[in-house]
Chains A and B, each alone.
Chain A
């Protein structure tokens, strides 16, 4: 299973765009890239998933370069409520579940 590396923490201000990059150098051909958001004392929540190029939904965008060795989660115009931990996971298939990494703790200031 592919190992991921993310920044431990990031700071931003309300209204700014935030980009969180995840490195996954040994991603396998069939692996999807999935991002989750976790608030304190709650379970992680699915944000977005992609395989290649760009994916956009109502919450975020996910940019994946051609070599797929990294991915960038983009949160447009963050608000205080976006303060959370963001996890990047690669390659959850069938019976084998990934252990989450440390994630990126995003702090949004007013």
Chain B
């Protein structure tokens, strides 16, 4: 158990659906991240939040909309996705600002877009 919980664990959705991924961290960290990992590919950084402020958006399509209501919770709202968006979506947190910063990941949401 890493202290970062993601729900749901698996999600199947149609291209016209709207769904949300949820992430919660119990580590007292001040930074949270969304990563995408397509099959047999490296992790791609999507969004970074530091102290609830979005500080990085890696050219992610607008059909992905993040939300960070507080330092413990992070959401990824999904709408009108494409089949190529099928991937493992990983949430991570860290205590930002330290030179020896470490990332703690959740188990991910395996998303399938039909």
Contacts and interface: CB of A to CB of B under 8 A. Distances in A.
Determine if chain A interacts with chain B: yes
Interface of A: 30-32, 34, 36, 41-46, 49, 51, 92-103
Interface of B: 2, 4, 31, 33, 35, 42-45, 48, 50, 55-56, 58, 88, 90-92, 94, 96-108, 110
Contact of A41 (B50, B92, B98, B110): B110
B55 A95 contact: yes
A32 B2 contact: no
Contacts of A101: 42
A25 to B, nearest CB: 20
Nearest to A51: B100
Contacts of B107: 42-43
Nearest to B97: A94
A46 B103 contact: yes
Q: Which 7 A-B pairs have the closest CB atoms?
A: A43-B105, A100-B43, A95-B55, A95-B50, A92-B101, A32-B100, A43-B90
